[in-house]
Amino acid sequence: MVGCREWTAKVVDDARGGMGPDESLREHLATCPVCAGRWRDERVLTRELQILNDRVSDARLPRTGFDAVVREFDRQKRERRSVRTRWTWAAAAAAATLVMVLVVLHPGTTNPASEPDTSLAAASSEDGFVPVPYAPALAQGEFVTVLREELDPAALVRMGLPADGLGEDPVMADVMVGEDGFPRAVRVTKDSDF
């Protein structure tokens, strides 16, 4: 025999379906006041929920909500783009700084701006000038001055220039200096040139 507990699911399902009880349930309802009461409550509840559903279905979502969402969407998009741009600029600035640091530490080897130095080195092979190692790179268009000086070979060594075979006596040399007064290249001359 099926108890009331087993009938409950059928009562709920039939009441939700909006149809009347089927034959077997109808027979049970006729003899069970508890299930008959539940049946009635379930049917009322189903109808009430339907009415509530109808009322809510009539409720329209205002257009202003969508407009606000789109505005926020556009704002976030702009912000993301702006952040991307800022990162690009920051990366570019960092790269530029790195290049400048390399130029300062390794002039003539890493900085494209050291091209005048390179040409100076090329000239040294023709004119006898030997570039001073690790000297600051000449700026593009910077003027140089050539000074003839008497140099101690030890001074040449201090500048990083080879002094082999020069002995210990001072030698005459042409010193190419930049606008800042720092030597950039040296050419040892013969006494006869003096």
Partner 1 sequence: MTAGMRPTDEEIYRRMRGGDRSALAELYERLAGRIHRYALYTSGRRQMAEEVTQEVFLRLMGSGGRFDQSRGSVEAYAYGLARNLLRRMPKTVSALSEEPFSGGDLLDELIDDERTAALYEALAELPVGYRDVVVFCDLEERSYEEAARLMQCPVGTVRSRLHRARQLLAAKLAPLNATAFEVGAR
Give me the helix-helix angle, 4-17 and 33-58, nearest 10°.
Answer: 30
- Which one, of 90, 192, 189, 184, lies nearest residue 142 by Cα? 184
82 makes contact with partner 1 (CB under 8 A)? no
What's the closest the beta carbon of residue 159 comes to partner 1, in angstroms? 59
Q: How far apart are the first and last CA of the chain?
A: 133
Q: Using CB under 8 A, which of the segments 36-44, 132-140, 169-177, 178-186 binds partner 1?
A: 36-44
Question: How does DSSP assign 39-61, residue by residue?
Answer: HHHHHHHHHHHHHHHHHHHHPPP
User: In this chain, which of 6, 22, 74, 142 binds partner 1, going by CB under 8 A?
Assistant: 74
User: In this chain, which of 4, 26, 73, 158 binds partner 1, going by CB under 8 A?
Assistant: 73
72 makes contact with partner 1 (CB under 8 A)? yes
5 makes contact with partner 1 (CB under 8 A)? no
Q: Which is nearer to partner 1, 55 or 190 (CB)?
A: 55
Dihedrals φ, ψ of 174, to 5°?
A: -90, 125
Q: Which is nearer to partner 1, 53 or 109 (CB)?
A: 53
Supply the DSSP symbol for 112.
Answer: G
96 makes contact with partner 1 (CB under 8 A)? no
User: In this chain, which of 4, 52, 95, 157 binds partner 1, going by CB under 8 A?
Assistant: 52
Helices (H), the chain: 4-17, 23-31, 33-58, 63-105, 115-127, 153-158
Q: Which is nearer to partner 1, 79 or 150 (CB)?
A: 79
User: In this chain, which of 17, 33, 65, 165 binds partner 1, going by CB under 8 A?
Assistant: 65
- Edge to edge, what strands does the sheet with 130-131 contain? 130-131, 183-188, 171-177, 145-151
Binding residues vs partner 1 (CB under 8 A): 8-9, 12, 16, 38, 40-49, 51-53, 55-57, 59, 61-62, 65-66, 68-70, 72-74, 76-77, 80
